[in-house]
Amino acid sequence: MRVVPDDGYRSARLVLIGEMPAQHEEAQGRPFVGPSGGVLAKWWRDVGLQRSDFYITNVVPYRHNKANKVESVPWDERQQYVEELHDRIAALDDPWLIVPTGNTALQALVGKTGITRHRGSIYAYRDRRGRIIKVIPTIHPAALFRTPYWEKRCIMDWRRIASDVTFRDLRLPEREHFIKPSISDLQDFYEDAKQRAKCLVFDIETPRKKLQMQEGVYKSGKRKGLPKIKTTLGDARITLVGFSFESHFSFTVDTTLEYWRDEQQLKEAWDVIRLLMALPVPKGGQNAYAFDVPWLLEPDYACPVTNFLWDSLCLNHTRDGRDDHAMHYQQSLYTREPYHKDEAKDPDEMSKWTSDLDQFRRYNGKDCCVALDLIDEHLSYLGERNRLQFY
Ligand code: URA
């Protein structure tokens, strides 16, 4: 067993965290000098970075077994290495940006899992000296040998990293999400949109209704004889309609009776939503042409959308037909909004919507602002290249 020491100056602004040395690293006693290092070197050249810009470290400091599987390192030993990693970072002079590559490094540094979701996002890490350091995770270069089509997103991440290391702050979008409107707030928003909107983005949420069902009686146990209440899922329905026409502001309308408390108020809310959707201004949204527009046309809502023009999913398809089009992926490439899709999920049951309604409403507002940013970005990209005609 040979420990591979960290490489680079303690004064480096950039810190690269790998997983565990492989064969070449073990042989040469330096991190990232094998095939993974070769891939990184190529990307760094493309974006104007070089090896000497980095302090390079690994979570596990030696090659554990011939299979290069970090999972074979015992859990408590790995935990020990995570502790040491945080200590090593705290010993650095003044790092500005840390790049964890792959799941092991991401989890060790910030405790998040799912590198494909979190890559390209901008996070803050508080080190053991209390310093706040910017973090931009990316995919481990070795993953490219299995999944070559991820190269575009890796290069985009490294482009962001090269640019973000020139400043310390996170520069995240500052947005206000207005989530509990009264009817008069909604009317004011309508007047404002009528006067000022150049593109009105909207997004609906359609969670299934949670139903409490009585399900027979307990057959065993101390509480024998008590009715058992089971939560089950009923029909999907529109519970939120969000809007944005400025990147820094969203307006979300709850469309449930639970929110408005009486039928008349709910009807008035829908009347104003219909007026908003009937404005002549171009409308837009992410996947809204296939999803939101038909939902709104359902007889329960009877809310046609006038002049629906810009769909960020379709615009992204026009931009690069071979790429993925999910919003969280597009946002990681073209906006500075960190990954937020889990904010709508129940943390205990990730497949269900969160029961924290305010969080759900803010999530909806964020989606609207991000879709607007994406539409702006795609329109200028395609416009500059005379390619809007293909949309
Ligand atoms: N992969 C890693 O995670 N680290 C290295 O040093 C080399 C390959």
State residue 222's pLDDT score. Answer: 56
pTM: 0.93
Counting atoms of ligand 1 from 1, which one is nearest the CA of 19?
Answer: 3
Residue 121, Ramachandran bin (φ over 0: left; ψ between -120 and 50: alpha; else beta):
beta
State residue 193's pLDDT score. Answer: 98
CA–CA gap between residue 208 and residue 162 (Å, rounded): 43
58 pocket-lining for ligand 1 (C-beta < 6 Å) = yes
44's tokens: 């760094």
| Residues shown for the chain | 391
**For residues 179 and 362, is the Cβ–Cβ distance under 8 A?**
yes
10 contact partners, CB below 8 Å, separation of at least 6: 55, 91, 92, 93
Counting atoms of ligand 1 from 1, which one is nearest the CA of 24?
Answer: 7
State residue 230's pLDDT score. Answer: 78
State residue 214's pLDDT score. Answer: 75
In single-letter form, the type of residue at position 239 comes to T
**For residues 173 and 369, is the Cβ–Cβ distance under 8 A?**
yes
CA distances from 240 to 78, 208, 255, 273 (A): 44, 12, 5, 11
31 pocket-lining for ligand 1 (C-beta < 6 Å) = yes
State residue 374's pLDDT score. Answer: 98
- CB burial class (10 A; 0-12, 13-18, 19+) of residue 391? middle
Nearest protein CA to atom 5 of ligand 1, as residue = 21
CA of 36 to the centre of ligand 1 (A): 7
State residue 221's pLDDT score. Answer: 52
Which ranges of the chain have pLDDT less than 70? 66-67, 215-226, 350-351
State residue 116's pLDDT score. Answer: 97
Counting atoms of ligand 1 from 1, which one is nearest the CA of 30?
Answer: 6
In single-letter form, the type of residue at position 148 comes to P
Q: Identify the three-state secondary structure at position 253.
A: strand
365 pocket-lining for ligand 1 (C-beta < 6 Å) = no
CA–CA gap between residue 102 and residue 66 (Å, rounded): 19
CA of 20 to the centre of ligand 1 (A): 5
For 306-363, the pLDDT digits (tens) are 999 999 999 999 999 999 999 999 999 999 999 999 998 887 776 678 889 999 999 9
Segments in the chain forming alpha helices (H): 23-28, 35-47, 75-90, 102-110, 115-118, 143-146, 151-164, 183-196, 257-260, 263-278, 292-297, 312-319, 327-334, 357-384
Counting atoms of ligand 1 from 1, which one is nearest the CA of 18?
Answer: 3
Cβ neighbours of 111 (radius 10 Å):
9
CA of 121 to the centre of ligand 1 (A): 22
CA of 337 to the centre of ligand 1 (A): 29
State residue 69's pLDDT score. Answer: 84
